Amino acid sequence: PLVLGIETSCDETGVGIVRGQTLLADAVASSVDEHARFGGVVPEVASRAHLEAMVPTIERACETAGIRLDDVDAISVTSGPGLVGALLVGVAAAKSLALGLGKPLYAVNHLAAHVAVDQLEHGPLPEPCLAMLVSGGHSSLLLVEDVTGEIDPLGSTIDDAAGEAFDKVARLLGLPFPGGPHIDRAARSGSSVAIDFPRGLTTRRDLERHRFDFSFSGLKTAVARWVEARERSGEPVPVEDVAASFQEAVCDVLVRKALDAAGDRGVEHLLIGGGVAANSRLRAMAEERAAAKGIRVRVPRPGLCTDNGAMVAALGSEMVSRGRAPSGLDVPADSSLPVTVVQQ
Ligand code: ATP
Ligand code: MG
Ligand code: FE
């Protein structure tokens, strides 16, 4: 099927077009620069930017794919979770298209779309698989039995998301927002063993209750204390070493818990998605440690890891292929849609 997918859950206006699981277009307009001076995404600003970018982004995607809107077989859209005002713009646009073109609408879960996108690059999803989603808003371990219908959450962060930790630590180090890519770059010339930062929820006691959960706020505080102590003593802050040691602590916990979960559930494939999956150290560490356990790792290319429309189109296409019934045209946006609800 030829499917057009719309993503507006946060600050990216994404419109993707796929035929089956072949990517034809992935147009993204981001309002990230408008949020940079606030150090985080401002919901009202994001909603207005989506409104302005929606039609041009749809046009750009159709042009790139070389299709006319009439050609599409279905429209899919992220209906949650995310910022409610931002979601509403995408959902309204998708409903209008579905109604106007007389095509079925699939309102889908953003997290499931982050998993489904990998098919565009690496072929059919191995199911069941263990998915680790790490972004600015989420850090979760999911057992994916069927990406169009059965996803079980095994654990998630109990405080900050992994991407949020990258962004906050970057700010502390005077690096621009969003901080992930800047930490990644700075870490390349630093030492990952220079500072021994804490690994959240890994003591034996913590593991009893939180085996597959994450915690990053203690790590962020530890970095803040370390940097403050340095500044007080008048010594320069070794930004590269702090970045590398912090990044190592985050990746160590993520990979350790993901592989533990995969082993526990007896699945042979680990899929990593979300913006933080673009991290070079995370990718390398996951590959290395998974190989030792006979687990295969799949990570989409960085451009498909951050929010985009292609992932929504990929999931919509899979919905159509597997014969799922379309969503009603009265489907609401749900800012806290649970991952167990793959389609609304
Ligand atoms: P959501 O959580 O709803 O998916 P989001 O906009 O936060 O929304 P993404 O666009 O998937 O999610 O990811 C953005 C996050 O990924 C930011 O926190 C950013 O710092 C982080 N990130 C991007 N590239 C890297 C990288 N190379 N290393 C570490 N973190 C990164
Ligand atoms: Mg984003
Ligand atoms: Fe996302």
DSSP string, 303-319: HHHSS-SHHHHHHHHHH
Answer whether residue 18 shows pLDDT above 90: yes
191 is in an annotated binding site: no
- Is this complex scored with an ipTM above 0.90? yes
pLDDT tier, 213 (very low <50, low <70, confident <90, very high otherwise): very high
Please tell me the distance between residue 34's alpha carbon and the centre of ligand 2 in angstroms: 12
DSSP string of 90-114? HHHHHHHHHHHHT--EEEEEHHHHH
Ligand nearest to the CA of 246: 1
167 is in an annotated binding site: yes
Kindly report whether the global pTM for this prediction surpasses the value 0.90: yes
Please tell me the distance between residue 230's alpha carbon and the centre of ligand 3 in angstroms: 35
- Give the number of the atom of ligand 1 that is nearest the alpha carbon of residue 274: 11
321 is in an annotated binding site: no
Q: Would you say 276 and 246 are in contact if contact means Cβ atoms under 8 Å apart? A: no
Give the pLDDT confidence score for residue 275 in this predicted structure. Answer: 93
Answer whether residue 30 shows pLDDT above 90: no
Give the pLDDT confidence score for residue 34 in this predicted structure. Answer: 82
Pairing of strands 150-156, 269-273: unpaired
pLDDT tens digits for 291-334?
Answer: 999 999 999 999 999 999 999 999 999 999 999 999 999 999 99
Q: Would you say 233 and 176 are in contact if contact means Cβ atoms under 8 Å apart? A: no
Over pLDDT 90: what percentage of the chain? 94
Ligand 1 binding site (Cβ under 6 Å of any ligand atom): 9-11, 82, 135-138, 163, 166-167, 178-181, 184, 274-276, 278-279, 306-307
Give the pLDDT confidence score for residue 44 in this predicted structure. Answer: 87
Please tell me the distance between residue 9's alpha carbon and the centre of ligand 3 in angstroms: 8
Q: What does residue 107 show for φ and ψ, rounded to 5 degrees?
A: -95, 115
Helix or strand holding residue 289 (H, E)? helix 280-292
Residues 6+ apart with CB under 8 A from 102: none
Ligand nearest to the CA of 12: 2
Q: Would you say 45 and 116 are in contact if contact means Cβ atoms under 8 Å apart? A: no
Rounded Cα distance between 101 and 292, Å, is 51
DSSP lists the bridge partners of residue 22 as: 19
Q: Would you say 91 and 77 are in contact if contact means Cβ atoms under 8 Å apart? A: yes
Residues 6+ apart with CB under 8 A from 71: 2
- Give the number of the atom of ligand 1 that is nearest the alpha carbon of residue 163: 18
Identify which of 33, 246, 276 to mutate to test ligand 1's pocket (most ligand atoms within 8 A of the CB). Answer: 276
Please tell me the distance between residue 165's alpha carbon and the centre of ligand 1 in angstroms: 10
Rounded Cα distance between 175 and 163, Å, is 14
Neighbours of ion ligand 3 (CB under 5 A): 135, 307
Over range 46-73, report the average pLDDT: 97
Residues 6+ apart with CB under 8 A from 118: 125, 271, 273, 298, 299, 300, 304
100 is in an annotated binding site: no
- Mean pLDDT over all residues of the chain? 96
- CB atoms < 10 A from the CB of 1, how many? 16
pLDDT tens digits for 251-274?
Answer: 999 999 999 999 999 999 999 999
Identify which of 306, 307, 311, 334 to mutate to test ligand 1's pocket (most ligand atoms within 8 A of the CB). Answer: 306
Q: Would you say 149 and 342 are in contact if contact means Cβ atoms under 8 Å apart? A: yes
Residues 6+ apart with CB under 8 A from 286: 251, 255, 258, 270, 272, 297, 299
260 is in an annotated binding site: no
Q: Would you say 153 and 141 are in contact if contact means Cβ atoms under 8 Å apart? A: yes
Give the pLDDT confidence score for residue 83 in this predicted structure. Answer: 96
Answer whether residue 249 shows pLDDT above 80: yes
